[in-house]
Structure 1
Amino acid sequence: MTPSEQPKAPITQDVHTMPRKLPEGPANLIGMTRDGMREALIAMGTTEKQAKMRVGQIWQWIYQWGVRDFEAMTNLSKAFRAELAEHFVLEVPHVVTKQVSTDGTRKYLVRIAGGHEVEIVYIPEEGRGTLCVSSQVGCTLTCSFCHTGTQKLVRNLTAGEIIGQVMVARDDLGEWPETGARTYEARLLSNIVLMGMGEPLYNFENVRDAMKIAMDPEGIQISRRRITLSTSGVVPEIARTAQEIGCLLAVSFHATTDEVRDTLVPINKRWNIEALLDALRTYPKVSNSERITFEYVMLHGVNDSDEDAHRLVKLIEGIPAKINLIPFNEWPGAPYTRSSNNRIRAFSEIIYKAGYPSPVRKPRGEDIMAACGQLKSATERGRKSRKQIAAETGLAGE
């Protein structure tokens, strides 16, 4: 058998960690694609001719005006509204707690089907606001510097649970336009980053469907250039992301040698740096994105040397890129410490002189554990000591 004939390993995570199905009951219209909603209405008894029109009407109520009550959909007949209420629900994740940082960052702990909880973070900035969305309960990647990665994967989020996070944040921000309005006076939530809990490309279909809803011109209307999907390097799904979503791409890179990246980002053992970079070289062209963002967490004595900076520049040669340098956000039991400000500046300077933007990300929401790599829902929080985690990552004694 030739190598090309060898059976390919599946790219999804261990299915034994995933429930076979969500609780049964009326179907949730939130998260359905337009085609899916049309088929659901036809199955309810709506004619094919009427279904297309009804989808457009319902879609606007849900995603343009944020309505969650069928009775409020006044351009639908009373009988049809009653039928909708009998067959469907309009449910978004339930907010359990909201914390507000001294810098204005908001962190929401929300509950989804099955009683599981995930976290969402809203980061206000001048003239814009970014929502960091989760795609899984927990994470399967076990990146050793990431607090979320110490929480075992429970399940993928549905498309409704993903777009529902956006809707929950807009509820809290009071950003839905008045019923009947077609334009937004303000854009408090202008950007989405799929950088919360989980690996988005291990939940591709649900992430794609949710982002298509977010981008729909008759709904929430967030441009694909204002949506960034962050992956740790699920190589086979990168081209598919360019073709089927077309959003901006960020990569959790974090190391310049396979030896170090194997420890920091264990998925590297499956798709190494060379394979990842090969996939990234074609992404901007296929998706019409301007450049790839390389996320690089700065870890003292691990990946922050001048040699690392020079290697990084050499590795990404030929890829339109921006390098986001992320001061490590420490969490209880973390086996690493943050690089010094002087070391981060020196690293950044080398990259900048090579012609790449190299902004240093300002940590946001650290006081409420809302910064990058700190998300971990309270109900799933398996506490480990610093010594345990260090032993697991092979860094004991360093």
Structure 2
Amino acid sequence: MAVFPLTSPNSSAVDSAVGDKASVSGDSSAPLLGKSLEELTEWMQAQGQPSYRGKQLYQWLYQQGARSLQDITVFPKAWRQERENVHLGRSTLHHRVVASDGTVKYLLRLADGQIVETVGIPSAKRLTVCVSSQVGCPMACDFCATGKGGFVRNLAVHEIVDQVLTVQQDFGQRVSHIVFMGMGEPLLNGSSVVAAIRCLNRDVGIGQRAMTLSTVGVPGRIRALAAEQLQVTLAVSLHASNQPQRLQLIPSAGAYPLEVLLDECREYVQLTGRRVTFEYILLAGLNDRPTDAAELAQHLRGFQSHVNLIPYNPIDEADYQRPSEASIREFVAELESHRIAVTVRYSRGLEENAACGQLRASKSR
């Protein structure tokens, strides 16, 4: 049973999610992508087709990546032509760029003309998709290109699932991992994000334990996520070791003090039995000193957690600097001296603006 709030407490703009209807494309029917086998079977029967057609539709959507009903050639041609306005829920490719490390950035045009960004990150043993949950982002983090561009709307379930299918088809291999670290704050679009996670698991076949949901933190939403009893990894973006410093970087932190956020994270661990990953972007001369690491360690003492350190990825809209390797090593050493589990994560796709914090739904800088 879904328990996520359907609306956001932050702003009326965030509350007005597009939902799962295709009215933006001039069609009154709901997109088919995101529906379960049972739902697709019911839909086919309502269209006067036998129930086995539902399984065919399901396979063409999720295994063969059909982009329109006309692609599904096992269906009668005349029947397909009568339903030209049926919307499967696939986007169109607006722009594609490949970085030297093999990372691919996609700008996808949605049914209403909005552009959303997703990233395919290949490695020797896996293919990871960095998924967006909103067009833009209302959190306005000072170091993030997406936040600098403002917020437009939430993404619907089919618009999230489509990103994964797009990358899977383009690479010609199965997606193994998903990170909700693209444009937007996932917990401000919790109902659609949770539904998309269940669809990607159930219908696309990606294990929930191979998914990570990243959040800056929204009051009450981590608790709501825990109640969903998903098996995803929760990654909380701290980026600071004290409240004044965090407020400087993350304006929304004013409504969600660091201690309150950490208390809710502890509750999440108790309710789910799963550890929390804390993300911390290192900004030279601001939050990368050993004293910052020691202060962070005090907050996380006795916590079932892991820290991901992310050296800052430059954007044109901010003057922050990437720390030196020596500073990074000192920060890691200080955390380890307090027995805090820590990893340094270097982002892929840096030179093509496809790295963490650089997504801005534009072709170039």
* Structure showing greater Rg: 1
The 5-angstrom pairing of residues 1-398 of structure 1 reads 11-16=8-13, 18=16, 22-25=24-27, 26-33=29-36, 37=40, 40-41=43-44, 44=47, 55-70=54-69, 73=72, 78=76, 82=80, 85=83, 88-175=86-173, 187=174, 189-216=175-202, 219-244=203-228, 245-289=230-274, 291-378=275-362
Asked whether the equivalents of residues 158 and 206 of structure 1 are also in contact (C-alpha less than 8 Å), the reply is: yes
Structure 2 contact 349–355 (Cα < 8 Å) conserved: yes
- Render the CA deviation track for 1:76-125: whole Å, top value 9, x for unaligned: 6x389539835622231211111111111111111112211111111112
**Distance between the aligned counterparts of 2:222 and 2:127, measured in 1?**
26
Residue by residue, what CA displacement relative to the aligned partner does 1:288-333 show, whole Å, maximum 9, x if unpaired?
43x2111100011211121111111111123211111111011113
C-alpha distance in 2 between matches for 1:93 and 1:287 = 35
Displacement of 1:31 after TM fit? 2.4
Q: Give, in angstroms, the shift of residue 285 of structure 1.
A: 4.2
**Aligned-partner Cα distance in 1 for 2:305–2:311:** 19
The alignment partner of 1:203 has SS state of: helix
Counterpart code for 1:302: L
C-alpha deviation, 1:19, in angstroms: 7.1
Deviations along 1:173-222, one digit per CA (max 9) or x if unpaired, are 113xxxxxxxxxxx4x2100000000001011111111111101xx3211
Residue 248 to residue 19, structure 1, CA distance change in 2 (3 Å): closer
Q: Using the alignment, how far apart are the partners of 2:107 and 2:77 within structure 1?
A: 37
Q: CA deviation at 1:55?
A: 4.2
> Contact between 1:103 and 1:364, CA under 8 Å: does it hold in 2?
yes
- Distance in 2 between residues matched to 1:22 and 1:294, nearest whole Å: 37
Matches of 1:256 and 1:35 in 2, distance apart?
48
Call closer, same or farther: CA 1:75–1:22 in 2, change over 3 Å. Answer: closer
| Distance in 1 between residues matched to 2:266 and 2:54, nearest whole Å | 39
Residues 139 and 149 in structure 1, CA contact (< 8 A), matched pair in contact too: yes
Question: Distance in 2 between the 1:372 and 1:16 partners?
Answer: 25
> Given the superposition, is the C-alpha separation of residues 40 and 365 from structure 1 closer, same or farther in structure 2, using an over 3 Å criterion?
same
How many residues get paired?
353
Change (3 A) 1:354 1:81: farther
**1:129 to partner: Cα distance:** 1.9
Unaligned runs of 5+ in 1: 1-9, 176-186, 384-398
Query: Alignment RMSD, CA only?
Result: 2.7
CA 39–201 in structure 1, closer or farther in 2 if over 3 Å, else same: farther
Counterpart CA distance in 2 for 1:130 and 1:60 is: 22
Letter matched to residue 61 of structure 1: W
Give CA-to-partner distance per residue, 1:324-354, whole Å, 9 cap, x none. 1111011113131112111111001111232
SS at match of 1:230: strand
Name stretches of at least 5 consecutive residues in structure 2 with no aligned partner. 1-6
User: TM-score, normalised to structure 2's length?
Assistant: 0.88
Deviates more, 1:15-24 or 1:265-274: 15-24
Equivalent position of 1:181 in the other structure: none
Instruction: State the alpha-carbon separation in 1 of the partners of residues 47 and 61 from structure 2.
Output: 19
Identity across matched positions, percent: 38
CA displacement at 1:137 relative to structure 2: 0.7
- Rounded to whole Å, the distance in 1 between the matches of 2:347 and 2:306 is 18
Aligned residues of 2:301 and 2:340 also touching (Cα < 8 A): no
| Preserved CA contact (<8 Å) 2:70 2:81 | no
Whole-angstrom distance in 2 between the partners of 1:196 and 1:341: 26
Residue identity in the other structure for 1:275: V
**CA–CA distance in structure 1, aligned partners of residues 347 and 233 of structure 2:** 21
Cα separation, partners in 2 of 1:241 and 1:66, compared to 1, 3 Å: same
Q: Distance in 1 between matches of 2:282 and 2:86?
A: 47
The residue identity in structure 2 corresponding to 1:96 is H
Match of 2:91, as an amino acid? P
Whole-angstrom CA distance in 1 between matches of 2:323 and 2:289: 10
Residues 172 and 274 of structure 1, relative CA distance in 2, 3 Å threshold: same
- Residue 69 of structure 1 and its aligned partner are, at CA, apart by 4.7
Q: How far apart, CA to CA, are the structure 1 residues paired with 2:361 and 2:223?
A: 31
The CA distance in 1 between the partners of 2:59 and 2:335, in whole Å, is: 46
Q: Distance in 1 between matches of 2:142 and 2:103?
A: 25
TM-score, normalization: structure 1?
0.81
Whether the 8 Å CA contact 1:33–1:209 is kept in 2: the answer is: no
